[in-house]
């Protein structure tokens, strides 16, 4: 059996979050998984990620004319090129897997270029992790959990040049895809912790506002999910 390919965003500031995301994935998996960290420094070494940045304070993405919240804000869009074929899952590193991801891969629709939870997020939170300012744009948080169909011809419209030169807000709203090419995953596969009510059976808990891995974090409801995974 070929392993399911999962890409997890990596940011040195959230190394603990990455470790918990990967370990919770492997612990829940009933089938083989191949995990690849999206490390921006390594992708730059290989010439795949070459966006100009200003690293004074928070990383500033010059192409987007905006701060870049994480080191993997853009690299997630390289997944179809890195994987080449088949289905591949991308997740932010600030997640805890609460279910077997074979359940998610079983939902893969070959007619869709990508499948996401289509959040309708109200503009209520002004800050996110580390006190960074929230940026609102169409389809916000859709790209934080993505099941990519790397064989879909629509994803061939997304070039390496696009990933390196288009503003991030265009990439995160899937500008290269028609609406009909974006499939929908059940909401429990990307529950936004402390933003949305807890689903009856959450399968991916996404600590999008930060968590116990965030410096200076004040205890919040549902912290135990991350702490239990960290101590397992």
pLDDT at residue number 217? 96
Residue 230, pLDDT > 60, answer yes
Say which residues have a Cβ less than 8 Å from residue 106's Cβ, sequence separation at least 6.
none
Sheet strand arrangement including 191-192: 95-97, 204-206, 191-192
**Contact predicate 98/35, CB 8 Å:** no
Decide if pLDDT at 58 tops 60: no
Q: What's residue 62's pLDDT?
A: 55
* Mean of pLDDT over the chain: 90
Res 132: pLDDT: 47
Share of the chain above pLDDT 70, in %: 84
pLDDT of residue 70: 83
In the structure, what pLDDT confidence band is assigned to residue 2 with cuts at 50, 70 and 90?
Answer: confident
DSSP 66: E
Beta-sheet pairing, 33-39 with 4-10: parallel
Check: CB of residue 70 under 8 Å from CB of residue 9.
Answer: yes
Q: Is the pLDDT of residue 61 over 90?
A: no
Domain 4-230: top CATH class? alpha beta
C-alpha distances out from residue 15 to 22, 31, 71, 104, Å: 11, 25, 12, 25
Burial classification of residue 100, based on how many CB atoms lie within 10 Å of its CB (0-12 exposed, 13-18 middle, 19 or more buried):
middle
Rg (CA), the chain: 17
What is the total residue count of the chain?
Answer: 232
Selection from 138, 80, 70 nearest residue 114 by Cα: 80
Residue 123's pLDDT band, with cuts at 50, 70 and 90, is low
Give the sign of the dihedral formed by CA 171, CA 208, CA 8, CA 18. positive
| Overall average pLDDT of the 200-213 stretch | 97
Summarize the confidence of residues 74-92 as an average pLDDT.
97
Q: What is the pLDDT of residues 15-50, one digit of tens each?
A: 999 999 999 999 999 999 999 999 999 999 999 998
| pLDDT score recorded for residue 140 | 85
- Confidence band, pLDDT 50/70/90 cuts, at residue 64: low
Rounded mean pLDDT, 58-74? 67
In the chain, what is the straight-line distance between the N-terminal and C-terminal CA atoms, in Å?
27
| Domains in the chain: boundaries | 4-230
Angle between helices 15-28 and 223-230 (to 10 degrees): 80
């Amino acid at each position: 059996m070929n392993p399911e390919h999962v890409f997890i965003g990596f940011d040195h500031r959230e190394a603990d979050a990455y470790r918990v995301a990967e370990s919770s994935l492997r612990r829940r998996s009933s089938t083989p998984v191949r995990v690849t960290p999206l490390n921006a420094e390594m992708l730059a070494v290989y010439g795949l990620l070459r966006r100009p940045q200003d690293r004074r304070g928070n990383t500033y993405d010059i192409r987007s004319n905006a701060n870049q919240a994480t080191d993997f804000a853009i690299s997630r869009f390289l997944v179809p090129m890195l994987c080449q074929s088949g289905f591949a899952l991308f997740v932010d590193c600030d997640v805890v897997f609460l279910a077997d991801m074979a359940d998610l891969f079983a939902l893969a629709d070959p007619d869709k270029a990508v499948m996401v939870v289509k959040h309708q997020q109200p503009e209520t939170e002004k800050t996110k992790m580390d006190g960074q300012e929230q940026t609102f744009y169409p389809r916000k948080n859709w790209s934080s959990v993505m099941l990519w169909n790397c064989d879909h011809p629509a994803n061939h419209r997304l070039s390496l040049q696009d990933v390196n030169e288009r503003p991030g807000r265009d990439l995160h709203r899937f500008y290269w895809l028609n609406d009909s090419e974006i499939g929908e995953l059940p909401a429990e596969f990307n529950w936004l912790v402390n933003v949305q009510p807890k689903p009856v059976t959450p399968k991916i808990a996404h600590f999008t506002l930060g968590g116990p891995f965030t410096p200076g974090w004040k205890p919040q409801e549902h912290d135990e999910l991350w702490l239990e995974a960290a101590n397992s």
